[in-house]
Structure 1
Amino acid sequence: MTTTSAVSDSSNPYASLGLAVQQSSTDGSSTGLGQDAFLKLLTTQLQNQNPLNPTDNTEFIAQLAQISTVSGIESLNDSFSSLSSSLTSYQTLQAAQLVGHNVLVPSSAGYLPEGGTLDGAVAAGSSGTVQVDIVDASGQVVRTLDLGTQSAGVVNFSWDGKDAGGNTLDAGTYSLQARLIQGDTQTALTTYASSTVQSVQLASDGLTLDLQGLGAFALSDVAQIL
């Protein structure tokens, strides 16, 4: 059990008030001067002041302002802590309503559900021809989606799960590689994938969404709720 004891010092006139210097505890921490100890120290100072040279009013008011400031900061910290807890609870409740819904997140992979489609989007910085490669787990391009000439902005796409030969492929996670073609120049584009929210988790670094086939994403990563 960790104990903290005061250092005995007969020269310390405030030792009887519990204001002696505190030894550090075994875990390296030390006990600071709290509000009660501050008031005891201030009272003792007034009782033992020199009658011929009493404490200046300005100095006395400054000392009172110090404890007032400390109390105010402690109260403010408590208020912010309570507000933070309330906001976290509200945000968690709101995020829980996303379960079962599809969201769009920045991702280099997309999920093809059984009998469904792999949906996503790309962000084009300028106009040009947009193409998206669908890549399987072995690194083979199984299908190239030619989205044609597009203006700058977000371009949506949908893959039906079939390869270039018209064969239906297995459900699962596929990599996405997108590019913008402008003449002889090709520029890689950021890809987004749509997936279903399966659960919401509250972690130490914030809320995360577990997306089907894609894993965990921060709530702040969600670009669109579908």
Structure 2
Amino acid sequence: MSFDYNTVQNLGLAGAQQAPSARSELGQEAFLELMVTQLKNQDPLNPMENGEFLSQIAQFSTVTGIEELNSSFSGLSSSISADQGLQAANLVGRTVVVPADAAVLAAGGIVQGEISLPTSTPSLSVTITDSNGALVRRLDLSTQEAGQVPFSWDGLLEDGTYADPGLYQITAEANVGGEIKALATQVR
């Protein structure tokens, strides 16, 4: 039994031929070449409408503009990421204060933070609770003026023993205009 090359090729058994690589993008030059070819080969008795021709040009311009915009945004995104890295590097070795309603207590450690007080108050307190919501410690900061009010928890429970290391919830309340209001806390 003999097989000719065409039979082998039709069965997919012939050596793989390298297909020319297809371009995934249509550049401006290729687009114009296609447009000119289309105009050359159109039916002279039924030519392309002006509106259709202009529509194709406008579509290509729009796609080109979007691609350029996407490229610009990619560059901007890279610049922002690099800038964030540099800003973060500037914070190494410094103490930062971040908005948070929880803090981690290390063994024998302390938790420090600040409260944003919008107006002076005769009564300001910080409450520390464990993961079950049980009261761990209440810090009475008494009368305070408006502004950033610092607080510090020494890690001690109400009975004077050290709290277990872990995550603790921090809430702040103040008497503002005769009403008890919850306030935002920041931790270091």
Q: Residue 106 of structure 2 aligns with which residue?
A: 113
* Cα distance, 1:46 vs structure 2: 3.3
Local SS of the residue matching 1:77: helix
- Asked if 1:180 corresponds to 2:182, the answer is no
Q: Which moved more, 1:126-135 or 1:110-119?
A: 110-119
Say yes or no: does 1:170 pair with 2:164: yes
TM-score under structure 2 normalisation?
Answer: 0.65
Bigger fraction of residues in strand: 1
Aligned to 1:130: 124
Percentage of matched positions with identical amino acids: 50
The aligned length equals 164
Q: In structure 2, list runs of 5 or more residues that go unmatched.
A: 1-23
State the one-letter code of the partner of 2:68.
S
> Larger radius of gyration, structure 1 or 2?
2
Q: Which residue of 1 aligns with 2:87?
A: 94
Matched to 2:164, the amino acid is D
Deviation of the 1:43 alpha carbon = 0.4
State the secondary structure of the residue aligned to 2:167: strand
In the TM superposition, residue 121 of structure 1 has moved relative to its aligned partner by 1.6
Coordinate RMSD, CA, aligned? 3.6
Partner of 2:5: none
Gaps of 5+ in 1: 1-30, 195-226
Q: Report the residue type matching 1:131 in the other structure.
A: S
Separation of aligned partners in 2, 1:60 and 1:136: 71
Q: Which residue is 2:140 aligned to?
A: 146
Q: Give the aligned partner of residue 40 of structure 1.
A: 33
Once the two structures are superposed, residues 41-98 of structure 1 have per-residue CA deviations (whole angstroms, 9 ceiling, x without a partner) of 3102432467799999999788656545543442332232123123213323432453
- Paired with 1:147 and 1:187, the residues of 2 have a C-alpha distance of 15
The TM-score with structure 1 as length reference comes to: 0.56
Q: Which residue is equivalent to 1:84?
A: 77
